Amino acid sequence: MADILYIVIPCFNEEEVLTETTKRLTEKMRKMMESGKIADSSRILYVDDGSTDSTWHLIDRLYMDNGLVTGIKLSRNKGHQNALLAGLFEAADHADMIVSMDSDLQDDIDVLDSFVDEYYNGSEIVYGVRKSRKKDSWFKRTTAVAFYKLMRAMGVEIVYNHADYRLMSKRAVDELKNYKEVNLFLRGIIPLIGFETSTVEYDRGERFAGKSKYPLKKMIYFAIDGITSTSVRPIRMITMFGLLCILFSIIYGIYVIIGHVAGGTVQGWTTSVLLICFFGGAQIMCTGIVGEYVGKIYLETKARPRFIIEEKLTDDSKNK
């Protein structure tokens, strides 16, 4: 008997794409059901992340018209990672396997069969990995490569060229529930779960409609959150930097003393000003990095809910 598949799709102001996304996913899932690959009770689960447009009304209408669509509405905008987590946890109550993807149709839905095949072959987590970034602009391609290299250099365990297009078994999602942190970076957390994993390569397409919700500024913040949420290597780098500064100061001090004894001391303010500016800036930067960690500790100790579900689409909704 085929297992139940839920496709979890976080949405924030996505009214322009949802109709087409639902159409394509419905066709794909119908074919998978007919071939016996997934159960007839499989669903598309939309998560409205506090949208300010008519996204939720559209999800509700799609639910009424399409037996494969269901959805949940968060009480306010909590960010992509929290919305995705809410969808994963909700889906785990009904499904055997859960695929997470974006709503903009850039993720190739034709590889869903490959995801499911890997799941039946024993993989608990299947990562969707981009084949290449040839379609990206030079700037986007360069910053993306820099992002993954930086994350790895900072000690974050991350799958290269993988975003949030992945399949997880119910068992893997249940284990994910044991990770209680408020500061979420799922790309760094999920590899920590373990279990058998595999990858599926795909070509990422163009966005069907609307605008990207991740401009450069937001991507920078995302990288900072990812590093400080999953790794302490920056703190250790600060310690090493401090030790190097002490070593440099000792060497420079010896040089000054020798120069003074030899009577060749040159009284110059340039070196002093440069050193003061350099170490002053370094101290401020280090204080900022430490502050990032202190701020995250502050948020973690509050233990506020990561999301609040305001409404769920259930069979009772159709009977109203």
Whether residue 146 sits in one domain with residue 51: yes
Share of the chain above pLDDT 90, in %: 35
| Helical packing angle, 216-230 and 138-153, nearest 10° | 10
Whether residue 174 sits in one domain with residue 71: yes
d(CA 130, CA 102) in angstroms, rounded, equals 14
pLDDT digits (tens, 9 = 90+) for 108-146: 889 999 999 999 999 999 999 888 766 666 666 676 677
276 to 151, 178, 242, 282, 284: CA distances (angstroms): 31, 47, 15, 10, 12
pLDDT digits (tens, 9 = 90+) for 146-174: 777 777 776 677 777 787 899 999 999 99
Report how many helices (DSSP H) and strands (DSSP E) the chain contains, helices first. 11, 8
Whether residue 258 sits in one domain with residue 185: no
Whether residue 157 sits in one domain with residue 213: yes
Q: Which residue has the higher pLDDT, 18 or 105?
A: 18
Whether residue 217 sits in one domain with residue 287: no
Whether residue 242 sits in one domain with residue 127: no
Burial (Cβ within 10 Å: 0-12, 13-18, ≥19) of residue 286: middle
Give the side-chain half-sphere CA count within 13 A for 262: 9
Q: Which residue has the higher pLDDT, 4 or 225?
A: 4
Whether residue 86 sits in one domain with residue 37: yes
Q: How many other CB atoms sit within 10 Å of the CB of residue 213?
A: 17
Whether residue 129 sits in one domain with residue 240: no
Q: How many domains does the chain have?
A: 2
pLDDT digits (tens, 9 = 90+) for 81-93: 889 999 999 999 9
CB 302, CB 182: distance < 8 Å? yes
Categorize the per-residue pLDDT at 181 as very low, low, confident or very high, splitting at 50, 70 and 90. Answer: confident
Span of 51-65, 185-199, 230-244, 302-316 with lowest mean pLDDT: 230-244
Q: Which residue has the higher pLDDT, 153 or 192?
A: 192
pLDDT higher than threshold 60 for residue 227: yes
| Helical packing angle, 80-92 and 186-193, nearest 10° | 40
CATH of the domain at 201: 3.90.550.10
d(CA 90, CA 151) in angstroms, rounded, equals 29
- 97: domain range? 5-230+306-318
Whether residue 238 sits in one domain with residue 224: no
Residues sharing a CB contact under 8 Å with residue 17, sequence separation 6 or more, in sequence order: 103, 104, 105, 207, 208, 209, 210
